[in-house]
Amino acid sequence: MQTAYTKEELRAILAPRRGRRIVLVPTMGALHEGHASLLRQARLLAGDDGCVVASVFLNPVQFDNAGDLATYPKTPKQDLETCDKCGVDVVFMPSPDTMYCADRSITLEETHLSTVLCGASRPGHFAGVCLVVNKLFNLVQPTDAIFGKKDYQQLAILRRLVRDLDIPVTIHGAEIVRGEDGLALSSRNVRLTPEHRAAAPGIRRSLLAAKEAYAAGDETSAICERVRQTLEAIPGVRCDYVELVDAVTLHEVTDPHRLALLAVAAWFGDVRLIDNIELSRS
């Protein structure tokens, strides 16, 4: 495994690998089993002759809350060990100064999918995501890239980015990796209090109950309200949103036969957790 810290080092390492399948897994570090699953899937996708590139970069441009950025866990040594164990060929670990010019003045903004769900309460977040991922695509020039479905809105927006800008990258969505108790794995989970960590699997239980209710034909508004009430009954928890939307457009469900998505964001104290579940009535 090789590690690049600058753009020049990355280009030099990748130069002899051009022409092969190159699979990119962008991360912000503090890697856990969810990330490891993405890396292992990338290794399988790349095959023996392909190349797996993992980026480990805590992107400041996508944080709308300076406190969240400051408290985001950082484990670079362990991250490199995880990448090595999962068969990564190249790790790109740039600094913010390496990734961004001090006087940068170009932005990328998606104007439809990003107006709802997390985008409604995190202004500028997805513009930052689009910018850094586009830069990574330009630097790595991958044939494929893998993103987890836990950030379902992000995945949808990046599919739109590739489509609208004609970027020659195939986007793959990977299923959510969960703990034995059902909680979606997240780098933020380590910041939960013991009480909130014990209560957080309630998100998954409420989503599974909602899936059954949706399949049975219950009203969308009633389903969302039950999930909200269930979560906000937990001491110290408040919902950012509970929304049932079309899984592709992320807006109102207009065709009950299309795949739908129930997405949740909730604050457990000062830790914001997200989760989702795909729903179907067919």
Report d(CA 154, CA 233) in Å as an integer: 28
Query: What six digits make up the tokens of 58?
Result: 């805590």
Query: What six digits make up the tokens of 118?
Result: 């997390």
Report d(CA 14, CA 137) in Å as an integer: 13
Report d(CA 243, CA 221) in Å as an integer: 9
Query: What six digits make up the tokens of 255?
Result: 């065709």
User: H/E/C letters for each residue in the chain?
Assistant: CEEECCHHHHHHHHHHHCCCCEEEEEECCCCCHHHHHHHHHHHHHHCCCCEEEEEECCCHHHCCCHHHHHHCCCCHHHHHHHHHHCCCCEEECCCHHHHCCCCCCCCCCCCCHHHCCHHHHCCCHHHHHHHHHHHHHHHHCCCEEEEEHHHHHHHHHHHHHHHHCCCCCEEEEECCCECCCCCECCHHHHHCCHHHHHHCCHHHHHHHHHHHHHHCCCCHHHHHHHHHHHHHCCCCEEEEEEEEEECCCCCCCCCCCCCEEEEEEEEECCEEEEEEEEECCC
Q: Which residues carry out catalysis?
A: 35
